[in-house]
């Protein structure tokens, strides 16, 4: 496997909510155009790390961040010229539970494009169709694009959310336990899409399902109690972990 330049570089990142330390001194590179899976037990800081990437962490009250996060070589926290909106636009986000926006299916996908550029109706139609096809939802919804997004099933909603994230044309896709609320078929659908997407996107997936990590990961980051224990190519971490904690987690002794 060729060594790509890192897409996101994290250096000495420490995050605290009030007096609770969530992440401690994390240093890791997220490789470009691969699927990086962040694993670890509940409450280990996986989601926090993910939220640091697109600065969604800014919305949390009473949060303290130190260290650096570089995206494409720019320090997204300290460099004043970097706008959080620009950072977020660069990354699509898929959350744990699908949260479609309170509007029609079409408007959900068109939401991002409408924010960032003036498109005419035809361009928007093309974009909506393209991204709904990308997530495998087009055939199911093409005749009811003006229906409320809330009418879709959970699995469909999650795919719609993915399409909404992709419609902004990001470079990075962040997913926070994206299949945990879904039925197995929908979950499989999402995973398949990820495998397809990594050709053109850097994908970061947080999961606590080890089997999902095995299926998806090119690169694995293992967090435990807010600390980075081990990271490396998936086959190394999964088959020959060095750290005892990683070994214990992979073998299922701790979860």
Partner 1 sequence: MRLSAKKTEENIFKVLMITSTGVVVGSLLMVFAVVLIKGAPAMSLSMITSVPQGGYYLGKGGGILNAIVGSLYLAFGATILALLLALPVALYLQKDYIGKSRFARVVRFSLDVLWGVPSIVYGVFGFIIMLYLGIRASLLGGIFVLALLELPIMIRAMDEVIKMVPQELKEASYATGANRLETVSRVVLRQVSPGIVSAVILAFGRGIGDAASILFTAGYTDRLPHSLLDPVASLPLAVFFQISTPFPEVQQRAYASALVLLIIVLALSILSRTIAKRYTKYIIR
Residue from 12, 18, 79, 116 in contact with partner 1 (CB under 8 A) = 116
Quote the CA–CA distance of 186 and 179 in Å, as a whole number. 8
Quote the CA–CA distance of 7 and 174 in Å, as a whole number. 13
Residue from 6, 33, 41, 86 in contact with partner 1 (CB under 8 A) = 86
Contacts with partner 1, 15-54, as mask; x by CB under 8 A: ---------------------------------------x
3 binds partner 1 (CB under 8 A): no
Quote the CA–CA distance of 27 and 31 in Å, as a whole number. 13
Work out the burial of residue 72: count CB atoms within 10 Å of its CB; fewer than 13 is exposed, 13-18 middle, 19 or more buried: middle
| C-beta neighbour count of 229 within 10 angstroms | 20
Residue from 38, 93, 127, 228 in contact with partner 1 (CB under 8 A) = 93
Among residues 46 and 164, whose Cβ is nearest to partner 1?
164
Quote the CA–CA distance of 182 and 96 in Å, as a whole number. 9
Count residues contacting partner 1 (CB under 8 A)?
31
Please, are residues 48 and 22 in contact by the beta-carbon 8 Å criterion? yes
* Footprint on this chain of partner 1 (rule: CB under 8 A): 54, 56, 59, 61, 85-86, 88-89, 91-93, 95, 97, 99-104, 111-112, 115-116, 148-151, 161, 164-165, 168
């Amino acid at each position: 496997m060729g060594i790509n330049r890192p897409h996101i570089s994290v250096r000495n990142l420490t995050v605290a909510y009030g007096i609770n330390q969530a992440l401690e001194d994390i240093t890791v590179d997220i490789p470009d155009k691969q699927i990086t899976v962040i694993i670890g037990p509940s409450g280990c800081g996986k989601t926090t790390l993910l939220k640091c990437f697109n600065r969604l962490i800014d919305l949390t009250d009473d949060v303290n961040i130190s260290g650096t996060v570089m995206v494409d070589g720019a320090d997204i926290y300290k460099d004043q010229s970097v706008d959080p909106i620009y950072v977020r636009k660069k990354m699509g986000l898929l959350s744990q539970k699908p949260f479609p926006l309170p509007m029609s299916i079409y408007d959900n996908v068109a939401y991002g494009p409408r924010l960032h550029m003036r498109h005419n109706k035809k361009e928007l139609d093309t974009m909506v169709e393209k991204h709904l096809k990308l997530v495998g939802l087009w055939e199911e919804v093409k005749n009811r694009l003006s229906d409320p997004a809330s009418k879709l099933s959970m699995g469909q909603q999650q795919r719609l959310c993915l399409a909404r994230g992709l419609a902004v044309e990001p470079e990075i896709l962040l997913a926070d336990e994206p299949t945990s609320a879904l039925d197995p078929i929908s979950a499989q659908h999402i995973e398949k899409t990820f495998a397809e997407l990594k050709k053109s996107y850097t994908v970061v997936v947080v999961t606590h399902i080890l089997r999902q990590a095995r299926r998806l990961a090119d690169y694995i980051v293992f967090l435990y109690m807010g600390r980075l224990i081990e990271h490396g190519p998936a086959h190394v971490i999964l088959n020959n972990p060095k750290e005892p904690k990683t070994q214990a987690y992979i073998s299922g002794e701790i979860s």
